[in-house]
């Protein structure tokens, strides 16, 4: 577990100081794929570099499993930094794909047969098993980025930092890059920290996320729990919109917003509640998406029937998040 406690960081600029991080707190679970998202200059890179021990905070503490990394110096600091690999996109053009991935292992003096095995495993993880002998210039930008990630993973770091991993990668290639990060976490056991301006990256691969704005954490936590929080800016950005004109609500006894997480909930909960409590659910807005592999639905529903409260309590007991839209029927009637 990595914890960031009250971290602030500023930089000197031409005539003043730029505050990059203000009193940031967050927790990155071991083995998670953690997304730091937010607009330009929000402080994402600075925060990621503090987490990766590449930048020292002005104030506050970054802990690795409880250990205050700010107290580390010399060999101990270097040892901790070595546990964290930062993806560097610049490949050596004269070396083959396999040679690029093997370079950190060569520097560490790893024996040739062990090197070959490790490179073979990593080529498989990045889906380029047959490209080991090619030169970087023969690859697409997305493939090159996958090689850069493999090189960062070569020495089996416990934490991998990918700063804006899909920058410069064509849309159709982003899925393959993100899938490598996902495999680094799932198969190699690394804790992966990614930054991006594109919150959609969080929807596609992250388990945990922090939304930064102007150096502050707006919201952070496990994605699947944030999506059920009414008013969550992350849920707002990632779930299907439920915006509907007020007038659409007036023909129902009640309007509710419902978030359903997981195959069972998305597929069966509403029809079962409708049958059991003899209520009608009509979808007024929203839809279905996926968070990683998990289907998640957010619907604005018009509900009609005698036993609405019992039906809504029943689906809430089964894990659905039920909330009342900002405007309800009473507003419409008023
Ligand atoms: N080494 C530095 N020297 C001076 N200012 C810096 C430095 N690093 C970051 N900053 C400033 O700190 C603020 C936060 O920058 P940072 O790169 O962390 O944001 P970001 O969210 O990653 O932005 P982007 O999405 O544009 O890359 C910006 O105003 C930036 O100009």
Query: What distance in angstroms lies between residue 159's CA and the mean position of ligand 1's atoms?
Result: 22
Ligand 1 pocket, residue 214 CB under 6 Å: no
Residue owning the nearest CA to atom 23 of ligand 1: 41
Ligand 1 centroid, distance to 46 Cα (angstroms) = 6
* pLDDT score of 134: 96
CB 41 near ligand 1, within 6 Å:
yes
CA–centroid distance, residue 41 to ligand 1 (Å): 5
Assign domain 2-229 one CATH number from 3.30.43.10, 3.40.50.2020, 3.60.21.10, 3.40.50.300: 3.40.50.300
From-to residues of CATH 3.40.50.300 in the chain: 2-229
Q: Cα 76 from chain centroid? A: 30
Res 146: pLDDT: 97
Q: Is the domain covering 239-333 a CATH 1.20.58.190 domain?
A: no
Q: How far apart are CA 324 and CA 333, in angstroms?
A: 16
pLDDT in tens, 166-215: 998 988 999 999 999 999 998 888 999 999 999 888 888 999 999 999 99
Atom 20, ligand 1: which residue's CA is nearest?
A: 41
Residue 9 Cβ inside 6 Å of ligand 1? The answer reads no
pTM over 0.95: no
Give the mean model confidence (pLDDT) for residues 51-56: 92
Contact 16 CB / ligand 1 (< 6 Å): no
Residue 332 confidence class, pLDDT cut points 50, 70, 90: very low
Q: Enumerate residues 6+ apart whose C-beta is below 8 A from 253.
A: 303, 304, 305, 308, 329
Residue with tokens 């069966």: 268
- 3-class secondary structure per residue, the chain: CEEEEEEEEEEECCCCEEEEEEEEEEEECCCCEEEEECCCCCCHHHHHHHHCCCCCCCEEEEEECCEEHHHCCHHHHHHHHHCEEECCCCCCCCCCHHHHHHHHHHHHCCCHHHHHHHHHHHHHHCCCCCCCCCCHHHCCHHHHHHHHHHHHHCCCCCEEEEECCCCCCCHHHHHHHHHHHHHHHHCCCCEEEEEECCCHHHHHHCCEEEEEECCEEEEEEEHHHHCCCCCCHHHHHHCCCCCCCHHHHCCCCEEEEEEEECHHHHHHHHHHHHHHHCCEEEEEEEEEEEECCEEEEEEEEEEECCCHHHHHHHHHHCCCEEECCCCCHHHHHC
Nearest CA to ligand 1 atom 2: 11
Residues of the chain with CATH 3.30.70.260: 239-333
Tell which one of 20, 47, 50, 89 to mutate to probe ligand 1, the residue whose CB is within 8 A of the most ligand atoms.
Answer: 20
Residue-wise pLDDT for 240-272, tens only, equals: 988 877 777 777 888 999 999 998 888 899 999
Ligand 1 center–CA 36 separation, angstroms: 14
Q: How far is 207 from 189, CA to CA, in rounded Å?
A: 14
Tell me the CA distances in angstroms from 107 to 91, 122, 135, one per residue in order.
16, 17, 20
Ligand 1, closest atom to CA 197?
25
Would you give the distance in Å from CA 148 to the centre of its chain?
20
If you average pLDDT over every residue of the chain, what do you get?
A: 91
CB-count burial class (<10 Å; 0-12, 13-18, 19+) for 71: exposed
Tell me the mean pLDDT in the region 31-55: 94
Confidence of residue 64 (pLDDT cuts 50, 70, 90): very high
Give the pLDDT score at 251. Answer: 77
Does the C-beta of 143 come closer than 6 Å to ligand 1? Answer: no
Q: The tokens of 241 are what?
A: 């919109």
Alpha-carbon span 117 to 99, nearest angstrom: 13
> What are residue 240's phi and psi, to 5 degrees?
-60, 140
């Amino acid at each position: 577990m990595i914890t960031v406690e009250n971290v602030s960081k500023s930089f000197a600029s031409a005539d003043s100081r730029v505050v990059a991080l203000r009193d940031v707190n967050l927790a990155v679970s071991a083995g998670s794929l953690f997304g730091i998202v937010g607009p330009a200059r929000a402080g994402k890179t600075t925060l990621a570099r503090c987490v990766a021990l590449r930048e020292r905070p002005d104030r506050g503490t970054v802990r690795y499993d409880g250990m205050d990394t700010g107290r580390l110096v010399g060999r101990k600091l270097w040892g901790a930094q070595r546990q964290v690999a930062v993806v560097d996109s610049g490949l050596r053009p004269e070396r083959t794909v396999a040679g690029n991935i093997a370079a950190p292992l060569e520097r560490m003096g790893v024996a040739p047969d062990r090197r070959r095995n490790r490179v073979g495993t990593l080529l498989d993880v990045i889906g380029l098993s047959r490209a080991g002998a090619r030169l970087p210039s023969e690859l697409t930008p997305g493939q090159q980025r996958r090689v850069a990630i493999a090189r960062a993973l070569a020495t089996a770091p416990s934490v991998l930092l990918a700063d804006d991993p899909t920058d410069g990668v064509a849309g159709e290639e982003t899925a393959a890059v993100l899938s490598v990060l996902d495999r680094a976490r799932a198969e190699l056991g690394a804790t992966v920290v990614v930054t991006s301006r594109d919150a959609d990256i969080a929807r596609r691969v992250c388990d945990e996320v922090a939304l930064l704005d102007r150096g502050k954490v707006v919201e952070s936590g496990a994605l699947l729990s944030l999506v059920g929080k009414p008013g969550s800016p992350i849920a707002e950005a990632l779930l299907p919109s439920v915006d509907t004109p007020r007038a659409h609500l007036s023909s129902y006894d009640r309007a509710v917003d419902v978030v359903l997480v997981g195959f069972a909930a998305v597929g069966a909960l509403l029809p079962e509640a409708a049958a059991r409590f003899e209520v009608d659910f009509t979808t007024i807005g929203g839809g279905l998406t996926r968070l990683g592999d998990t289907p998640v639905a957010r619907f604005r529903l018009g509900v009609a029937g005698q036993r609405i409260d019992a039906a809504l309590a029943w689906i809430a007991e089964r894990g659905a998040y039920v909330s009342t839209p900002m405007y309800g029927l009473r507003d419409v009637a008023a």
